[in-house]
């Protein structure tokens, strides 16, 4: 049995690596991405190297490189269907 432990730094770096990869795939320089997203090129460089960025700037980059709806869907609560008639009547779903 394997146990994998990840922390916030691992996730930050994975997100930075992913957006860096997408930027390269789209053949965008950091300056071109700045022009598209409004996030300064120096901030993009720092993010790609360290994973450090504000949430707002991260969302601007994601929106410029990928589908923001994909990211948004990760935090949506799934609605469960009622299992009994009592749940329907009480609105417990």
- The 10s digit of each residue's pLDDT in 6-34 is 999 999 999 999 999 999 999 999 999 99
Angle at 9 between CA 7 and CA 11, to 5 degrees: 75
Model pTM above 0.85: no
pLDDT tens digits, 47-63: 999 999 999 999 999 99
Residue 59: which of 13, 9, 15, 7 has the closest Cα? 15
> CA-CA distance, 61 to 65, in Å (whole number)?
6
Output the CATH code of domain 8-73. Answer: 1.10.260.40
Phi, psi of 42 (to 5 degrees): -65, -35
């Amino acid at each position: 049995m394997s146990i994998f432990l990840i922390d916030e730094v691992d996730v930050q770096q994975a997100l930075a690596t992913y957006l860096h990869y997408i930027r390269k795939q789209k053949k965008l320089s950091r300056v071109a991405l700045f022009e598209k997203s409004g996030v300064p090129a120096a901030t993009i460089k720092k993010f790609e190297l360290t994973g450090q960025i504000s949430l707002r700037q991260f969302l601007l980059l994601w929106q410029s490189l990928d589908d923001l709806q994909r990211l948004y869907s990760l935090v949506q609560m799934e609605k469960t269907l009622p299992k009994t008639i009592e749940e329907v009547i009480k609105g417990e779903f």
